Amino acid sequence: MSDLQKLLQRLDDAGIDFVLVGGYAAMLHGSSLLTRDVDVCATLTPETIEKLREAFRNFHPRHRLSAPQQSFLDNPEQGVALSNLYLNTDLGTLDLLGSITGVGDYARVARDAVEIELFGRRVRAIGLDDLIAAKEALGRDKDMIAAKELRAIREKLRGP
């Protein structure tokens, strides 16, 4: 299981603008479903990638979808932008997504994000309506279960 607090702290300390999405965001909205990785939406410019390398340098970041897992410290080359980045680190799994299916790019996700206090820091999480849209757009069984639960949470929040 990923160390949510330490992963988010590294991102925040590095000055990376991000929005928490995925399973942990669902849990913050009241979902009972568990997750093992940390998903964030961010714009992965060359500058952001260099900040990420520095922030995670001591935590052995590796591209988790490459076989064998290549070091993120060496790949991609300096100056390259990415759409998505899927990492294994000593702190756990971290997925950085440039856009969210069913919602849009980082700017769109950030527009309707909610700000919460988490571990003594202000963190933005994807808005409940956007999270439901994302889960429904993905359409996997586990996402449809999450979307159903999140819709029930939304209805309860809205009240009678």
Where do the domains of the chain lie, and which CATH numbers do they carry? 4-158 (3.30.460.40)
**What is the share, in percent, of the chain residues with pLDDT greater than 70?**
99
Amino acid type, 40: V
For 37-56, b where at least 16 C-beta lie within 10 A, e where not — what string? bbbbbbbbeeebbebbbebb
Q: Give the pLDDT confidence of 86-108 residue by residue, as tens digits.
A: 999 999 999 999 999 999 999 99
Mean confidence (pLDDT) of the chain: 94
* pTM score, whole prediction: 0.93
* Residues forming beta bridges with residue 87, ordered by sequence position: 63, 94
In the numeric block, the tokens 């963190």 are attached to 123
Q: Span 33-57, mean pLDDT?
A: 95
**Is the separation of the CB atoms in 84 and 98 below 8 Å?**
yes
What's the confidence (pLDDT) of residue 1? 58
Q: In the predicted model, is pLDDT for residue 115 greater than 90?
A: yes
Residues 128, 130, 133, 134, Cα dihedral to 10°? -110
Question: DSSP class of residue 57?
Answer: G
Preceding omega of 68 cis (within 30 degrees of 0)? yes
Q: Span 4-26, mean pLDDT?
A: 96
Q: Give the pLDDT confidence of 73-89 residue by residue, as tens digits.
A: 999 888 888 999 999 99
